[in-house]
Amino acid sequence: MALDSKSTVLINGAAGGVGHLALQLAKWKGARVIAVASGAHETFLRELGADEFIDYTKERPEEVVRDVDLVLDTVGGPDSRRFLRTLKRGGSLYPVYFGQFDDEENAKLGVTVTAVSVRSSGAQLAELQSLVDAGKIRVAIDSRFPLADARAAHERVARGAYPGQGRAHGRLGKSRFTDASGGRPQGAGGLRDADAETWGRLAIRWS
Ligand SMILES: NC(=O)c1ccc[n+]([C@@H]2O[C@H](COP(=O)([O-])OP(=O)(O)OC[C@H]3O[C@@H](n4cnc5c(N)ncnc54)[C@H](OP(=O)(O)O)[C@@H]3O)[C@@H](O)[C@H]2O)c1
């Protein structure tokens, strides 16, 4: 879906590995972004450009948001259907986990629901890389592993003994690691250390 400065996008799960990148891409396209996450991530997401923030532990986004052009629901599943009512006619819902939808209901509302799946595109990845290199898209990193410790990296993610969620990002090549379980996490991609700490996430980047 093409986005521009007239578009409003709601991202459910905006603090996640997928959501925080989607938020920045939507902002890069000029859209107004409503970010949904837990309150601990508000400052963080606003720093990334979120225009509005909804703490899902305090209010339900589908009850307070209307007339958006696009919903990216990175949580997805059966609950995703609740976002139909937040869309304007012509709007689109992209649940990461596809739930149950009724084609007739979608048609009546004038909205489209599309399953999200990975499509490899070298051109898009190259563009993404240039956005990261230019500091327009930032990836939260608080832990770095040498490639030889890939197993330890996965085990670290599986343990989950850190605030937030674990996520792996990046590309193959030489690598770096700082363990988030001990000292202060290190920022990267233009993030200050404090930002990375606020994100409280384990992101692994092979670079
Ligand atoms: N990461 C990838 O590269 C990747 C690639 C393809 C597909 N996927 C899929 O995409 C989905 C999301 O992945 P992810 O990596 O973004 O997950 P994630 O890092 O675990 O993030 C999920 C986010 O969802 C938020 N959340 C949890 N419950 C919520 C609720 N009830 N309402 C709103 N937000 C809620 C959490 O926010 P708080 O932390 O603020 O509580 C969390 O940050 C998963 O199904 C994953 O399998 C991921």
Give the other-Cβ count within 10 Å of 166's Cβ: 20
CA 163 centroid distance within chain: 17
72 and 163: one domain?
Answer: no
195 and 133 together in one domain:
yes
61 lines ligand 1 (CB under 6 A): no
Residue 119 lies in a domain: no
Do 61 and 91 belong to one domain?
yes
- CA–centroid distance, 37 to ligand 1, in Å, is 9
To test the pocket of ligand 1, the residue of 18, 25, 171 to mutate (highest count of ligand atoms within 8 Å of its CB) is 18
8 lines ligand 1 (CB under 6 A): no
CATH of the domain at 68: 3.40.50.720
Cβ of residue 41 lying under 6 Å from some atom of ligand 1: yes
Q: Which of residues 113, 141, 163 is at a domain's end?
A: 113
Q: Report which protein residue has its CA nearest ligand 1's atom 35.
A: 13
Sign of the four-CA dihedral 16, 17, 22, 24 = positive
Please name every residue paired with 55 in a beta bridge, in sequence order, or none if there are none: 37
pTM exceeds 0.95: no
148 occurs within a structural domain = yes
Residue ending a domain, choose from 90, 113, 136: 113
Q: Are strands 52-55 and 32-37 parallel, antiparallel or unpaired?
A: parallel
Angle at 81 (CA atoms; ends 75, 87), nearest 5 degrees: 100
Instruction: Looking at the structure, tell me whether residues 91 and 139 fall in a common domain.
Output: no
Q: Which of 113, 147, 178 is the last residue of a domain?
A: 113
Determine the structural domain holding residue 31 and report its residue range.
8-113
Cα of 61 vs centre of ligand 1, distance in Å, is 16
Same domain, 99 and 34: yes
Q: pLDDT tens-digit profile of 139-175?
A: 877 678 889 988 988 887 777 533 344 444 433 333 3
Are 109 and 61 members of one domain? yes
Do 97 and 141 reside in the same domain of the chain? Answer: no
pLDDT, tens digit, for every residue of 4-50?
999 999 999 999 889 999 999 999 999 999 999 999 999 999 999 99
Q: How far is the CA of 76 from the centre of ligand 1 (A)?
A: 9
Locate tokens 């304007």: which residue? Answer: 88
- Residue nearest to ligand 1 atom 12, measured at CA: 74
- Domain identity same for 137 and 88: no
What digits encode the pLDDT tens for the residues 60-106? 999 999 999 999 999 988 899 999 999 999 999 999 988 889 999 99
In this structure, the answer to whether residues 58 and 147 fall within a common structural domain is no
Query: Is the residue at 66 inside a domain?
Result: yes
Count of structural domains within the chain:
2
Whether 38 is in the pocket of ligand 1, judged by its Cβ within 6 Å, is: yes
Cα–Cα distance between 66 and 63 in angstroms, integer? 8
